[in-house]
Structure 1
Amino acid sequence: MKMKKSIAVILLGMFLSMMLINTQAHATSWAEVEPEEVHKRADVIVMGQYDFTSKPQGRNMVFTSYEFNVQKVFKGDVTQKIRAGIDGYDVGWADEFQKDGGEFLLFLEKNKEFSFLTPVGGPNGMIQISDGKVQHHNITSRAYYEEFLKKQSEKPVVKTSNEAVQNDDNDYTYLYVGLLVFSVCIGIFLILRFRKTNKKLF
């Protein structure tokens, strides 16, 4: 009887160990995705840092999300703070990387399974930037992302939605000034015409 219990305990232990290993493998092992594919799939491309002091949301077996402070926007219409996904097992090293001054160039995609944007192919969509330089183990991929940033630097930086609102206010100011000038011109025209009409009458 004791032997049967021991065998049952051993089998249960093996089963739980296999489940744990499979879960970890699912969360941490990502197939490498070519940078062209990462770029193509991205709905939003931004640069900045995760705020790991913010409350994580949307936890599941693969992704959780944190607030992400956007410094630059290369694609998509986003605010200066967004919620971006990250593999839970990547939080530790990503936090340390940022504390050392690192930033992330995120290639994010929309996914029906999540209420937040997620990096394309997990870490494939999280490009490490340190001192303005791309850090990547693959030379070809590193060259691709360096070229991407080089091309972007030649274009005007896309502004976030928060900044766009401020710009809209300026546009309204110009509109009000334009209307005021137009009204003054109409007023002067009417006064002159009124005077000319009065002269004819008298």
Structure 2
Amino acid sequence: MKKVWQVFLAFFSIIIFTSISLTASSSFGLYPTEVIEKAEVVVLGKYDFSYEEQISDPSSEFSMATRFEVRNVYVGEASEVIIAGYNYFDGGFEQHQSEGGEYLLFLEQRDDVDYLTPVSRTGVVPVMDGKVTDHIDEQSKKVYQRFMDEQANKDTFITYDTKSYIPLGISIGILALISIFIFHKRKQTIKKNT
């Protein structure tokens, strides 16, 4: 009878432990090359922690978001200031920046949040004076440094998100057409009266 209980307890434990649902990033263990390939936007800059943080999904790894002041855009498009997610529990962000450091962010747009989030924890790369610092391991550090060096050889510049200016452009175009129409009608009215 004792053996039956031991088997039952072992079986029950296996079922319980294998059915536990953990919330974590599916891309936590990505290699740097995978992070680089998966990133939709890659930017260099600093987090602005004076901005009020927001929680979109408390169970999400990158549930905290704040402003990120973009100095360079390497991949994709971004405005001068974006909202970017970060892992609040990683810590050290403010200290690194107070010492003059920046972050190279490899970002993606996920469906569960309204802001860009790092591809994985390894997609938040601390940079000091153009050099990758304090990363997970030496190999990752080399891969990210090579990426930075390759980008330095290219003409890097901030590419502003033009999609946010589309409604403004359309509005200005419509106003211009209305102005031309009114001017033309007035001109015709003046000719008829003379």
Please give the TM-score of this superposition, normalised by the length of structure 2. 0.65
Task: Mark the CA change 1:119 to 1:133 in structure 2 (over 3 Å): closer, same or farther.
Answer: same
1:83 aligns with 2:83: yes
Alignment of 1:141 with 2:140, yes or no, is yes
Identify if the C-alpha distance between structure 1 residues 31 and 48 changes in structure 2 by more than 3 Å, giving closer, same or farther.
same
Kept after mapping to 2: 8 A contact 1:49/1:98 = yes
Distance in 1 between the 2:59 and 2:94 partners?
20
Q: Kindly state the Cα deviation for residue 64 of structure 1 after the two structures are TM-superposed.
A: 1.2
* Partner residue, 1:151: 150
How far the C-alpha of 1:78 sits from its partner, in A, is 1.0
What letter is aligned with 1:146?
Answer: Q
TM-score, length basis structure 1: 0.63
1:72-106 Cα shifts (integer Å, max 9, x gaps): 0001111000000001212x311111111111000
1:152 offset after TM fit, Å?
0.7
Q: Which runs of 4+ in 1 moved over 2 A?
A: 25-28
Q: Percent identity?
A: 33
Residues 57 and 44 (structure 1), Cα distance of their counterparts in 2 relative to 1, 3 Å cut: same
Deviation at 1:146, TM superposition (A): 1.0
Q: Tell me the C-alpha RMSD between the 2 structures.
A: 2.6
Larger radius of gyration: 1
Residue 37 of structure 1: aligned partner: 34
SS at match of 2:136: coil
Flag the structure with higher helix content: 1
- Unaligned residue ranges in structure 1 (runs of 5+): 1-21, 166-202
CA–CA separation in structure 1 for the residues paired with 2:59 and 2:46:
23
C-alpha separation in 2, matches of 1:133 and 1:33: 21
Give unpaired runs (5+ residues) of structure 2.
1-19, 166-194
Specify whether residues 99 and 55 from structure 1 end up closer, same or farther in structure 2 by C-alpha distance, changes over 3 A only: same
Secondary structure of 1:74's aligned partner: strand
Q: What is the CA–CA distance in structure 2 between the aligned matches of 1:31 and 1:76, rounded to whole Å?
A: 22
Displacement, 1:57? 2.0
